[in-house]
Amino acid sequence: MKKVRRKIGKYEVGRTIGEGTFAKVKFARNSETGESVAIKVMAKTTILQHRMVEQIKREISIMKIVRHPNIVRLHEVLASQTKIYIILEFVMGGELYDKIVQLGKLSENESRHYFQQLIDAVDHCHRKGVYHRDLKPENLLLDAYGNLKVSDFGLSALTKQGADLLHTTCGTPNYVAPEVLSNRGYDGAAADVWSCGVILYVLMAGYLPFEEADLPTLYRRINAAEFVCPFWFSADTKSFIQKILDPNPKTRVKIEEIRKDPWFKKNYFPVKLGEDEQVNLDDVRAVFDDIEDQYVSERSEITEGGPLIMNAFEMIALSQGLNLSPLFDRHQDYVKRQTRFVSRKPAKVIISSIEAVAESMGLKVHSRNYKVRLEGVSANRVGQFAVVLEFSINSKLTEESVLEIVVQAFLLFFIRKFYFCLSLG
């Protein structure tokens, strides 16, 4: 008996190839052209529940604007009564991050090749007024031919040429430019260039140029551009990277200067772009105008019944760039995936809250010198786990960089997830 494939429009949908907190990604094939695609499936109820309408709408619109051979292509957006389907280019080579982990580090020539493609893509974004703001190896994919594809525009900003400085502090700490941390506004183009420089260093070294156990020390090193190149970097490579990792954004090398550098120009073949395609956002408007009507209706119902109530985990979901998945990564490697949390609550208050929650769950708690160790055993005693939390105190945290009660939310999510897995055996 022939198996009937599910269809979404002209796409025949196959296996699930990825799954996150808010979406599933399905492999599919265009029945008209035979082209392989990836379909990101999101429930409208989830988008509404987590107030993600504007964020997703902006990300989709940006991806349609920045069409380039080295950027993951967004084909179209479809919708049913209950779901939204984002049709993306299928990139089968995995993350550049995984290649670094597998090989330890890449050769100078291979690193230069990926860096050239990255600069081509980032330059194209900047010409369109788009600044990525979260460039890192985890957001760089490789296709079947080894070509680099920039992905994940969830933190990107779309501005007009010559617009004012950006002010949102976002990104991944180890890759973020020093001026982004200053809360005085920053040039998105210069900040992206800095992140590209960190990526180049990681490609060739196999580890990060800025890596510290606590955020204050990490930020001090970033602000001072305090890093050392390994001995296997050539003199030209060191000089080139030092121009990019300049802590002063005004004197930091610009993309047009990067293109002229002899190190960059070696074996460089610029990507050939056709005429700019006419970008049509009608499908995006159609999908989100409909869902926004539901959103307004739902908010009205909530307002009538009283104030909007939001739990701690929903607050995390609303905080762009805060991705909990790295907490569960099993890689033991030089390029670490890390997530840190900050709060304005005093350390002693946070520790007391953690102790109360942990003890209510039957966990053993050991506290000493701002370190908390939690130990637990599953219900059927088939396994055990331990969690160690360390607190660093920074009196200079500003309100813009603060996430309230995140520590408590993280603890509940982390413990319950692992406790449940252990109970299943």
Environment class of 57 (CB within 10 Å of its CB; exposed 0-12, middle 13-18, buried 19+): buried
Catalytic (active site) residue 134: yes
Give the integer Cα–Cα distance in Å for 293 and 36.
33
Determine the residue type at 289: D
Q: Cβ neighbours of residue 6 under 8 Å, at least 6 residues apart?
A: 12, 13
Q: Is 40 annotated as a binding residue?
A: yes
Helices (H), 206-344: 215-223, 235-244, 255-260, 262-265, 282-305, 312-318
Owner of token pair 């989830």 = 46
Alpha carbons 75 and 142: distance in angstroms, whole number: 18
Q: How far is CA 25 from the centre of its chain?
A: 16
**Inter-residue long-range contacts of 385-393, CB under 8 Å, 24+ positions, other chains counted:** 385/418, 385/419, 385/422, 387/414, 387/415, 387/418, 389/354, 390/213, 390/214, 391/347, 391/350, 391/351, 392/214, 392/215, 392/216, 393/347
Nearest residue to 38 (alpha-carbon basis) of 76, 68, 82:
76
**What are the two backbone dihedrals, phi and then psi, of residue 208, each rounded to the nearest 5 degrees?**
-80, 145
Q: Do 86 and 80 meet the contact criterion of CB atoms below 8 Å apart?
A: no
The string of DSSP codes covering 300-312 is HHHHHHSS----H
Q: Rounded to an integer, what distance in angstroms lies between the CA atom of residue 379 and that of residue 334?
A: 35
Query: What is the rounded distance in angstroms from the CA atom of residue 278 to the CA atom of residue 58?
Result: 18
Scanning the structure block, which residue is given the tokens 């603890």? Answer: 411
Q: In this structure, are residues 79 and 87 in contact, taking their beta carbons and an 8 Å threshold?
A: no
- Choose the catalytic residue: 134, 152, 187, 246: 134
Question: What residues form the annotated binding site?
Answer: 40
- Please list the active-site residues: 134
Question: What residues form the annotated binding site for ATP?
Answer: 40
